[in-house]
Structure 1
Amino acid sequence: MQRDKDLHKFLLQKAERLTEEWYESLDKSDPAGVYSSTDPEIICKLKTQNLEFHKQLCKIFIEEKSVFLKGFDEWVIGIATDKEHLETPTHYILREFMRVRKQYLDFIEEYAESNPREVTQKQIDLWKNVLVEIFDIALLRFTEEKSKYVDSQFEEQQQMINDLSSPIIDLTRGRALLPLVGEIDTIRASAILENTLQQCMDKSVAHLFIDLSGVYMIDTMVAHQIFSLLDGLRLIGVTTSLSGIRPEIAQTAVQLGINFGKITITSSLAQAISKTE
């Protein structure tokens, strides 16, 4: 419709004004996040992102909805994975989406008032409904994508922590050491099982010393996984020596009925290594 094209042109002409008015009206007292930044580069980037939003949003009045949503979604994902926006509390960002929505609804009224004979109330209501729907989509997609990205980053960081918390240290003559320290929960125990088997294969380890002197307590499930590691190592041809088992861990192992018959056990790591010299 010609009216839709005219509205698109009207809003596009207001894009820079929308951006400037929006930025000037920002609550910059928020203690954290992109909106309170005083860095000129970040401020410029923020305004550019906002201006691009307006340019994208206006297209809803001249493009097929499916085509529009594809391009619009790219903008939303870009914001959801943007470093400064990731460091901004989500409720601050949602608040700004809603403030910009109010700007648009006001501009539709302004456009209608400047064209009273051509624009009907029915048309006004239709345009407003379209905008409300698109902003709802933006709010939902932003929240989904930010959450997905944060979860992905957390999983990568957790994996890195797990990798670093169960390092295989090369010794000599095909021997290696796995020193376990701190609290071991089910997730970490599972990571230790997977990482250790893989690292032993990658490093062609023949004898692995597992030192538990830095582990003070493990529950039954974790103990089961750790001793499953011993079985796994035996299956891939790795001889194991255990050292530093505390009484509490030994008691848990006995309760599980774990057989230590094929495992060398010493009170200290030094004793374990000296036995293989």
Structure 2
Amino acid sequence: MEKVDGILYRYILDHSSTITETWLALREKQAGSIYSVDTDVKVEELLREQNTLTIKTVTSALLEDKNSFIENMEQWAAMVAKSRVESDTPIYEVLEALNKVRETYWDFITDHMLKDNNGITKDTIIRWSRLINHAFDQLNREFTEQYYLLTKKRLLAQQDLINELGSPVIPIVDAIAVLPLIGEIDTYRAKEILNATPSKCISKNVSHLFIDLSGVTLLDTMVAHQVFELISTLKLLGIQSTISGIRPEVAQTSIQLGLDFSEVSTHSTLKQALSKQGIKLYERK
């Protein structure tokens, strides 16, 4: 590290709290944002701690050991990205806040270092500009990558939950279970049901599955074909199927498609289907 770099490094770290307070003072009212000037006291303290860490991370780019900056950057990005995802903070708000940190950082260097006539050469200023701006750019890139990965992970988890709720295999007695399908079933959802239901039945030791379609708002020809495939797959696994709630138009469509449901027990309602199996549903009075 050159001598002037060491002086700047120590000077910034010694005044990191001042830079942070200056940055916090720039906040304005932003409804629903953690960066709003009227945010909760605990959130403000979190911002203060994280911004101080931001300053320390960027300043470590002045060190001779470049691995130190990389390690600091990765830790910083992981922590801040997790915090912002958990608080549902839009990524554009974070990047805007980081830009203000950059501006505050440079204003501080300009006001307290360059104006004091410390004999700093133009070459040194240009080198600092490259080092520090590159450090901020790397922070932006690392943060956006971590933010994307965490957001993607959350979306996948939500999609898994949606898929699970979209085709729940519910055991009711012994080895009997019900698959109540509700809402619109498009081609994508039909494929998910076809792929997930057999393994669910196996894991729950189901030998007889009641597929109730009475809550389905739309069932096109492609979906009808997927339901037929599901029944065929379950049959190969030794699992008996019963359909309830199938609408007349769907039945007619199935016949036109050449889908043979003649060997599948069908009933107008789930209650009727279960009663046929000797299972009674008691209604509340």
Q: Same fold (TM over 0.5)?
A: yes
Partner of residue 146, structure 1: 147
Indicate the residue corresponding to 1:62 in structure 2: 63
* Residue of structure 2 in register with 1:32 after alignment: 32
**Using the alignment, how far apart are the partners of 2:154 and 2:80 within structure 1?**
16
Provide closer, same or farther for how the CA distance between residues 114 and 86 of structure 1 changes in structure 2, counting only shifts above 3 A: same
**Matches of 1:208 and 1:47, distance apart in 2:** 57
Opposite residue 73 of structure 2, the aligned amino acid is F
Taking the TM superposition and a 5 Å limit, the aligned residue runs for 1:120-199 are 120-199=121-200
SS at match of 1:35: coil
Change (3 A) 1:84 1:159: closer
2:178–2:210 contact (8 Å) kept in structure 1: yes
Shift of 1:153: 0.9
Verify: 1:49 aligned to 2:50, yes or no: yes
Report what 2:283 is aligned to: none
Question: Contact conserved, 2:85 with 2:151, CA < 8 A, in 1?
Answer: no
CA distance in 2, matches of 1:85, 1:61: 32
Between the aligned partners of 1:221 and 1:141, the Cα distance in structure 2 is 44
User: Deviation of residue 120 (structure 1)?
Assistant: 1.0
Q: Tell me the equivalent position of 1:270.
A: 271
**Residue equivalent to 1:113:** 115
Query: What is the deviation of 1:154?
Result: 1.6
Equivalence for 2:232: 231
1:52 to partner: Cα distance: 1.2
SS at match of 2:32: coil
**The 10-residue stretch of structure 1 (127-136 or 137-146) with the greater mean CA deviation from structure 2:** 137-146
Please report how far the alpha carbon of residue 73 of structure 1 lies from its aligned counterpart in structure 2 after TM superposition: 1.7
Q: What SS does the aligned partner of 1:213 have? A: strand
Larger mean CA deviation between 78-87 and 206-215 belongs to: 78-87
- 1:259 — aligned with what? 260
2:95 counterpart residue number: 94
Given the two structures, how large is their TM-score scaled by the length of structure 2? 0.88
- 1:175-215 Cα distance to aligned partner (Å, 9 max, x none): 11111111123333233223321221122111111010111
Report the Cα offset of residue 151 of structure 1: 2.0
What is the alpha-carbon root mean square deviation over aligned residues? 2.0
Q: Report the AA paired with residue 236 of structure 1.
A: L
Amino acid at match of 1:132: N
- Once residues 222 and 134 of structure 1 are traced to their aligned partners in structure 2, the CA distance between those partners, rounded to angstroms, is 53
The 8 Å contact of residues 58 and 136 in structure 2, kept in 1 or not, is answered as no
One-letter amino acid of the structure 1 residue matched with residue 35 of structure 2: Y
2:30 maps to a residue whose letter is D
Separation of aligned partners in 2, 1:101 and 1:114 = 21
Q: Contact 1:60/1:68 (CA < 8 Å) preserved in 2? A: yes
What is the identity, as a one-letter code, of the residue corresponding to 1:208?
Answer: L
Q: Which residue of 1 aligns with 2:281?
A: none
Structure 2 letter corresponding to 1:113: K
Gaps of 5+ in 1: none
Give the Å deviation of 1:173: 3.5
Write the deviation string for residues 99-154 of structure 1: whole angstroms up to 9, x where unpaired: 1111222233332332442x211110111112211212222222222122122112
